[in-house]
Chain A
Amino acid sequence: MNKKHVKLMISTAMAASMVLSMGAAVRAEEADYSILEGKTISFMTSQAKFFDAYQTMADAIEADYGCKVDFQVVPDDQYTSMTNLKLSTGEVPDVFEQNYPSQNATLNVYEYCEDLSNEAWVSRLVNPDMLKDQKDGKMYALPKESSSGYQVVYYNKALLESCGITDPEPQTYDEFLDILKAVKENSDAAPFLQTNKDNWETQIFMTGGIPITLGDKAAETYEKLLNNEITWSDIPEAEDVLQKYIDLYTEGYVNEDNLSVGYDDAAEIMANGKAAMYLTVDQWATDFGKNHPEVELGSFVIPYGEKPVLPTGNYVQGLFVPNAGSQIDVAKAFLEVWSMPKYQDMYYEANPGYPAFNDVNGGEATPCVQSIVDKYITTGDYVYEINGQLADANGCFNDLWNFYVEAAAGEKEAAAVWEDFQAIYEDYMEQQGFEAFE
Chain B
Amino acid sequence: MNQKKFYPNYFTYPAIVLFFIFYCIPIIASFVMSFTNWNIKRINSPKFTGLKNFIRLFEDDYFMLALKNTVLFAVATTIGIVVLGLLLALLLNAAIKGKAFFRTVFYLPAVLSLIVVGIMFKAVFKLDGGILNQILNAIGLSGLTRDWLGNGTTAMWSIIFVQVWKWSGFAMAIYLAGLQGISTDYYEAARIDGATVWQRFRKITLPLLAPAFTVVITMNTIGGFKVFEQVYVMTNGGPGNATQVLNTYIYKEFSKGTLGRSSAASLLLFLLIAVIAVIVNKALTSREVEM
| Interface of A toward B, CB cutoff 8 Å | 77-78, 80-82, 84-85, 87-88, 106, 108, 111, 196-197, 199, 256-260, 274, 395-396, 398-399, 402-403, 405-406, 409, 411-412, 420, 427-428, 431-433
Within B144-196, which residues are at the interface with A (CB < 8 Å)?
A: 147-152
* Docked-complex contact B255 and A411, CB < 8 angstroms: no
Task: For A398, give its contact among B125, B148, B252 (CB under 8 Å).
Answer: B252
Complex interface: chain B residues within 8 A of A428 (CB): 256, 258
Query: Complex formed: what's the CA distance from A398 to B253 in Å?
Result: 11
Pairwise interchain contact A78-B147, C-beta atoms closer than 8 A? no
Nearest-Cβ distance from residue B44 to partner chain A, whole angstroms: 9
Q: A259 contacts B238, CB within 8 Å?
A: yes
List A contacts of B61 (CB < 8 A): 420
With a cutoff of 8 Å between Cβ atoms, the chain B residues found around residue A405 in the complex are 238-240
Task: Give per-residue flags for B226-245: 1 if the beta carbon is below 8 A from chain A beta carbons, else 0.
Answer: 00000010001111111000
User: Are B39 and A432 neighbours in the complex by a CB distance under 8 Å?
Assistant: yes
Number of B residues whose C-beta is below 8 Å from A? 37
> Per a CB cutoff under 8 Å, which of A88, A257, A399 touches B150?
A257
Interface of A is mostly: helix
On whether the beta carbons of A256 and B56 are closer than 8 Å, the reply is no
Q: Are B147 and A403 in touch, CB under 8 angstroms?
A: no
Q: Is the CB of B257 within 8 A of A398?
A: no
Q: Does B259 make an interface contact (CB < 8 A)?
A: yes
**B-side contacts of A259, CB under 8 Å:** 147, 149-151, 238-239
Top 6 nearest A-B pairs (CB, nearest first) are A81-B255, A259-B150, A406-B240, A260-B150, A259-B239, A257-B127
Given A108-B41, A260-B149, do A88 and B240 touch, yes or no (CB 8 Å)?
no
A197 proximity list for chain B (CB < 8 A): 236, 238-239
Contact of A77 among B152, B236, B242, B261 (CB under 8 A): B236
Q: With A81-B255, A411-B240 known to touch, is A433 a contact of B126 (CB < 8 Å)? A: no
A319 to B242, CA, bound (A): 34
In the complex, which of the residues B41, B126, B260 has the most CB atoms of chain A within 10 Å of its own CB atom? Answer: B41
Asked whether any CB of chain A lies closer than 8 Å to the CB of B43, the reply is: yes
B24-70 residues with Cβ-Cβ distance < 8 A to A are 37, 39-43, 56, 61-62
Q: Which residues of B contact A (CB under 8 A)?
A: 37, 39-43, 56, 61-62, 125-128, 147-152, 232, 236-242, 251-252, 254-261
Inter-chain contacts of B56 with A (CB < 8 A): 427
Q: Which residues of A lie under 8 Å from residue B236 when comparing CB positions?
A: 77-78, 197
Given A77-B236, A106-B257, A256-B127, 6 new contacts (CB under 8 A): A111-B41, A402-B237, A402-B238, A406-B241, A420-B61, A431-B37
Q: A256 to B147, Cβ gap below 8 A?
A: yes
B239 and A196 within 8 A (CB): yes
Q: Are A431 and B39 in contact (CB under 8 A)?
A: yes
| Nearest CB on B from A425, distance (A) | 12
Some 23 contacts from A to B, beta carbons below 8 A apart, are A78-B232, A78-B236, A84-B40, A84-B255, A87-B40, A88-B40, A88-B254, A106-B257, A196-B239, A258-B150, A259-B147, A260-B126, A260-B127, A260-B150, A405-B239, A406-B240, A409-B240, A411-B240, A411-B242, A427-B56, A428-B256, A431-B39, A431-B261
Q: Which residue of B lies closest to A199 (CB)?
A: B238
Complex: A402 Cα to B43 Cα, angstroms: 27
Contact between A402 and B240, CB atoms less than 8 A apart: yes
B149 to A88, Cβ gap below 8 A?
Answer: no
Contacts of B257 in A (CB 8 A): 84, 88, 106, 108, 395
| A432 with B241, Cβ < 8 A, contacts A85-B255, A398-B256, A409-B152 known | no
Q: How far is the CA of A88 from the CA of B44 in the complex (A)?
A: 11
Find the B residue at minimum CB distance from A108.
B40
Q: Is the CB of B127 within 8 A of A395?
A: no
Contact A81 B240 (CB under 8 A): no
Does the CB pair A257–B152 fall under 8 Å? no
CA distance A256 to B146 in the complex (A): 9
